[in-house]
Amino acid sequence: MDDKQLAEKFRDAVGDVPPPSFDTQDVLVASKRATAHARKRLQTGAGVAIGVVLIGGVLLLVRPFGGEPTTTSAGGDVASPNATSPMSLNPGFDTNHAGPGGGKAEPNSTETGGGANCGPADQALAAALVTELPIITGTAAQAADVSCPTGSNGVAFELTDGSNSGKLELVLVPSTVADDPSTGAKPAVKVSKGNSVTVKTHNGGALTLATLPMNGSAAGPYVNQLGDIAARLAARY
């Protein structure tokens, strides 16, 4: 048997070769898909790297020296003693035991004494007094001219009440003012003339309402209502 016959024998033994399960187009599609996946992975990796760099840059800007950030909040500020409370008068509030030392709130004696000036008219106190005495609406608020302890606020109104005329003055010594060691109560408001009543406020301060006669009047305005008005005002602070 020569070589040609031997080759024919081998071809017959192999049989027919099955047709391929894919063609050139399938190969191209698979190649494009693999390329797209590789590009997407590359883009994702680059995005993560850029994000890390950006975050690092922001952290460096926020904390360039490694210190702790300081947050300032408006809710951390000390509340102003001038702010009024919407609280209404407690029905159990006893005006006969409302003085700073727990005693009965009696008209103060006429006296003079040292103390800091009350400063300009406190508009929050003015609004509170107008709320309790709507009849004074529209009257100009003035600076209180009684002798005020340091840290207190005041306001005054020049009024006429029947035959009585003069000034009605309101002074608030907030709870943040230290007590007078000699009395254990808030420092007293010194009134040079007229009548005044001091009551303890809802939050532990002291509120003084004074009426000072003017223009030859025998008494100041609302002299007979000082206790009631002062008690209602004290429940606000």
pLDDT tens digits, residue range 78-131? 333 333 333 333 333 333 333 333 333 344 433 333 344 788 999 999 999 999
Does the structure show a pLDDT above 70 at 21? no
Same domain, 37 and 122: no
Q: Are 145 and 170 in contact (CB under 8 A)?
A: no
Percent of the chain residues topping a pLDDT of 70:
59
Asked if residue 213 is part of any domain, the answer here is yes
Domain of 56 in residue numbering reads as 3-62
Residue 19: what pLDDT?
63
Same domain, 46 and 104: no
Same domain, 201 and 156: yes
Q: Residue 40: which pLDDT band, with cuts at 50, 70 and 90?
A: confident
DSSP 100-119: TTSS---PPPP-----B---
**Residue 74 to residues 17, 123, 150, 176, 237, Cα–Cα distance (Å):** 86, 22, 25, 19, 21
Same domain, 107 and 204: yes
Does the structure show a pLDDT above 60 at 210? yes
Q: What is the mean pLDDT of the chain?
A: 73
